[in-house]
Structure 1
Amino acid sequence: MSAEVQGERYHVFLRGYVARRRGLAPDQVELDGNIFELNYCDSLGFFGMLLEIEDAFGVRFNEEDLADRRLLTLRGMAQLLAARAGAD
């Protein structure tokens, strides 16, 4: 699977995840905004989202990943997810 297709797969998953939990249409979910400022999740919801991502894609985030500022946006999450998937 190409990196572009894989990245789109992550975007679709993340948008769908937020949309279901926030009662939004997937196309209403922003990829580049701060997930906390957009009220997509709180700190507890954030860790729940990471667990869902790990289960869905078979990756594991480590402590260093949790400090990565890319996790503040859905696009950044997808980038980090792609990096983790490539490393595993």
Structure 2
Amino acid sequence: MTRGIKETLDISLQMMLWKMVDDLKQSKEVELDYLQVFKLRRSNEELIIEHIQEVPEYKKIYRFNKSSNLVEEDLKVFIIDENDYNIMLLAEEN
């Protein structure tokens, strides 16, 4: 993970995003792209996470009640698969 992730994203959210990627990989529902995109935002007391990949196209929206306090602002997070390792970074760190 990058410094931006470490300083910005709660560890429970980091783990949640890694799990979403692992679950998608195990489900074989769709082939996993090297780039996974997560858009995190608050809506009232809900935390909304939109998980997207471009090739093949995939999109899933998760809603978590009473979890909006886990993010202070809207965030875009990338997880990049580099074969030997994976990295999680904020979009602005790209």
| TM-score normalised over the length of structure 1 | 0.35
Q: Which structure dedicates a bigger proportion of its chain to helix?
A: 1
| TM-score normalised over the length of structure 2 | 0.34
Q: Which structure dedicates a bigger proportion of its chain to strand?
A: 2
Bigger radius of gyration: 2
